[in-house]
Structure 1
Amino acid sequence: MKESLGIIDDEGNLFGVINIIDALVVVFIIAVLVAGASLVLTGDGESSSAPTTGTTNVTLDLGTQPEYITSQISIGDSYSPSENADLTITDIYFTPQDESTRAVVRAELSAPSSGETIQYSGAPPRYGRQLEVLTETYSTKGTIRDVGGGSELTTTETKVVVRANLSETDARRLSEGQPIRVQGREVATIESVTTYGTNNPDKKTVFLGLTLQSVTNGGQQAFGETRIRPGASLSLPTGAGLVKGEITRVGAMTQRGQPATRDVKLQLSNVSPLLANSISPGMTESFGGETIARISAVQRENATIVTKGENGDIYEQAHPINQDVTFTANLSVRETDTGVTFKGQTLQQGRVVILDLGTVTIKATVVSGYQ
């Protein structure tokens, strides 16, 4: 009977075939190959799980900028604050702000993804975070006002009425259809102009109907830094220079109410004969071909004065010189749900109105005809 072979025979061969030392060398080589393959496979796994690049859009408020900066800002400008982060300007919005220009841009951020956001230059793009924009021609920074959405800023045509006090010369430089531009971009249009005289013949009160190119800021429409609401101040570079006014109405381009005319009885009390005789029928307050008021009838009589006698009695008598003037004027008014207005003010008995009649400016008291 043949004797079975052991694992290692007397000569040191494995299964009587391979020398044990050679077998160990083969095992070592196989282990090295397996380890190398493991490293290669592990490396492939790591590269496949490397962070992916994501993009998001933000609105950056650059604040007021000098002309030499705004003239350089262009769509397509880009900046890379780090190796794996990029910022590219995709839209631009300019508005006037006093003597300067306010710049707001839309920008696309590209950076490694992290959950539902990206890590742009080490942190997510959060509201209020400041980002730098450095190019070959300019350097600036802006505050994030909005995150997400499309690549363009959403602008809205917003109608407003603005009241401003101007010199007569500047008031005459304003006209309907006049565009308002900043850095060559149209940001507003003058749709209507209504001009009234004041107690200063060199000054005018002007109501401007405007269409503004506004954007949404914090859930409200804004024109630059101005939240569009009644009472807000607004600055506009026009053909008359920088016009500073106050928003009186939003959502319309005319004053409140329907236009109409009213014959209103007005009175001047205890005035000099020179002033009394300067008022006559046919006189008008007009501006730019539009008549605001026309006097149709005038009555004069000696003014009444009250004196006190030696015994303490009160006496009423005619003034020897001064006169009372009562006259009727056809006024261009607006009829509203709450009453009739003239030059933006409600007409009431006893209210003082100002008429610039060209040769004379008067302050007259409303007597009747205002309802």
Structure 2
Amino acid sequence: MRLVDEDGRLFGRVNVVDAVVVLVVLAAVVAGVVAFVPLGGGGEQATRYATVDLGTQPPAAAERIEAGDRSADGDVVVTDTYVGPAADGANASVVVRVRVNGTLAGDGDDRVFERDGEPLRRGDALSFETPSYAVSGDVLRVDADGETLPVGSLPVLLEATLSPATADAVSVGDTSRIDDRRTARVTGVTTAPVANGSDRRALLGVRVHTLNRSGSTYFGATPVKVGESLRFDTDQYALTGTVARWGNASPPGSPTTTTAVVSLTDVAPTVADGLRAGLVERRDGRTTARITDIRTENATVVLTSDDGHIYEREHPENVDVELTVDLRTRATADGLRFHTRALREGTRVTLDFRTVAVDGTVTRIRG
């Protein structure tokens, strides 16, 4: 039998032109199916938002990490950043929120989000590289949406012991920064002398830039809790304080004025001569103590004779001093406080009038 007869039919049955048309259509259908099926299998395209802890970074590196940064492959985009002080005080703690393009592998409720064929879940590592830097960190959480980090501004009250130079340098408005990002600001300062005559006790109201991590509030790498230490650095000084109040940067209680009698014993004439009514102690721009009355009497000295007898005699020079002072105190539920500490009869207080400083015992408190 001839392949094509004189009428142009294939095997005497099918017109050659019709056969060619059918073959062309079949080829197009097959090519379309091949083009539709992605090479290498894969899964449904998806996007997720991940919070990633990049750990400790040098300040120069932290400065380069910004919202809008995109990985070289375009699959990772930084949507938000948090920068705070690292535990060492010299570097930065960096957490980012990123948008990740990937796929969903598996079926039904068992589908897992993957990037480059690897699952992306809490606890996994995520690495990406931009034209400016390459970083890797631990995934803290993965969500279907949400471009921003749960950051906030928290007032705290810090207790610290400062050198005189640092105490004099601290003032309201001082800020702590990492590159151009403000991480904390001083909102209030209360300082008081201590008995050694050099250091200062301080209560510092500070507002810190925080990040909520798994339900806990963090300032950089440090959890913010009462009793925990926080570091505060500026270009002029660095200090570490203990959190005394959380969510409130003011000293406890309300301000009031209390009259007290403070007794000083065995005071040298050079010191006693510097005390007078009207002398004031000033701290942080406020009058904290004012002498309203002063009384002196000769100090006594106890002597033991050669035969063992004990005698009390007047000291030839030194005097005992009784000061009546008006004190700037704070009334709290637990009683009065002065110079950041409890004030009651028997309390030792230090008064620094700049020209003279004394340490005495509160013997009476008047209402």
TM-score range, shorter chain: 0.7 to 0.9
Shift of 1:349: 2.4
Matched residue of 1:69: which SS?
helix
Q: What corresponds to 2:128 in structure 1?
A: 133
Q: Does 1:248 align with 2:224?
A: no
1:104 aligned partner, one-letter code: V
1:339 is aligned, of 335, 338, 344, to: 335
5+ unaligned residues in a row in structure 2: which ranges? 1-10, 14-18
2:75 is aligned, of 86, 89, 95, to: 86
- C-alpha contact (below 8 Å) 2:44/2:104 kept by paired residues: yes
Shift of 1:169: 4.2
* Paired positions, count: 344
CA deviation vs aligned residue, 1:243-289 (integer Å, no higher than 9, x gap): 32222111112111111111111111123222232222222221342
- C-alpha contact (below 8 Å) 1:96/1:237 kept by paired residues: no
Pairing 1:309-328 to 2, within 5 Å after superposition: 314-328=310-324
2:83 aligned partner, one-letter code: F
Shift of 1:340: 0.9
Matched residue of 1:305: which SS?
strand
Choose 301-310 or 87-96, whichever is displaced more: 301-310
Shift of 1:365: 1.3
Distance, in Å, in 2 between the alignment partners of 1:68 and 1:341 is 45
Q: Does 1:72 align with 2:43?
A: no
Shift of 1:53: 1.8
1:55 is aligned, of 41, 47, 51, to: 47
Pairing 1:187-266 to 2, within 5 Å after superposition: 187-199=183-195, 203-238=199-234, 240-266=236-262
Shift of 1:211: 1.9
Q: What corresponds to 1:112 in structure 2?
A: 103
Q: What corresponds to 2:292 in structure 1?
A: 296
TM-score by length of 2: 0.81
1:351 aligned partner, one-letter code: T
CA deviation vs aligned residue, 1:29-68 (integer Å, no higher than 9, x gap): 9xxx9x9999779868965985012222122222222132
- C-alpha contact (below 8 Å) 2:169/2:236 kept by paired residues: yes
Shift of 1:91: 0.7
Q: What corresponds to 1:101 in structure 2?
A: 92
Q: Pick closer, same or farther for the CA change 1:254–1:116 going to 2, 3 Å.
A: farther
Matched residue of 1:79: which SS?
coil
- C-alpha contact (below 8 Å) 2:189/2:284 kept by paired residues: no
Q: Pick closer, same or farther for the CA change 1:164–1:186 going to 2, 3 Å.
A: same
Q: Pick closer, same or farther for the CA change 1:92–1:109 going to 2, 3 Å.
A: same
Shift of 1:363: 1.5
Distance, in Å, in 1 between the alignment partners of 2:284 and 2:32 is 85
Choose 240-249 or 39-48, whichever is displaced more: 39-48
Q: Pick closer, same or farther for the CA change 1:260–1:169 going to 2, 3 Å.
A: same
- C-alpha contact (below 8 Å) 2:122/2:139 kept by paired residues: yes
5+ unaligned residues in a row in structure 1: which ranges? 1-20, 24-28
- C-alpha contact (below 8 Å) 2:59/2:178 kept by paired residues: no
Distance, in Å, in 1 between the alignment partners of 2:326 and 2:227 is 30
Choose 135-144 or 249-258, whichever is displaced more: 135-144
Shift of 1:161: 0.9
Matched residue of 1:68: which SS?
helix
Give the percent of matched residue pairs that are identical in Structure 1 and Structure 2: 30
TM-score by length of 1: 0.80
2:90 aligned partner, one-letter code: E
Distance, in Å, in 2 between the alignment partners of 1:44 and 1:119 is 23
Pairing 1:139-150 to 2, within 5 Å after superposition: 139-148=134-143, 149-150=145-146
Choose 324-333 or 170-179, whichever is displaced more: 170-179
Q: Pick closer, same or farther for the CA change 1:302–1:183 going to 2, 3 Å.
A: same
Distance, in Å, in 2 between the alignment partners of 1:354 and 1:320 is 26
Shift of 1:332: 1.2
Matched residue of 2:167: which SS?
helix
- C-alpha contact (below 8 Å) 1:347/1:370 kept by paired residues: no
Instruction: Mark the structure with the bigger radius of gyration.
Output: 1
Distance, in Å, in 1 between the alignment partners of 2:209 and 2:286 is 29
- C-alpha contact (below 8 Å) 1:99/1:242 kept by paired residues: no
Shift of 1:370: 7.2
- C-alpha contact (below 8 Å) 1:229/1:250 kept by paired residues: yes
Distance, in Å, in 2 between the alignment partners of 1:130 and 1:370 is 65
Distance, in Å, in 2 between the alignment partners of 1:286 and 1:88 is 54
Shift of 1:116: 4.6
Distance, in Å, in 2 between the alignment partners of 1:265 and 1:316 is 25
2:71 aligned partner, one-letter code: Y
1:67 aligned partner, one-letter code: P
Distance, in Å, in 2 between the alignment partners of 1:130 and 1:301 is 76
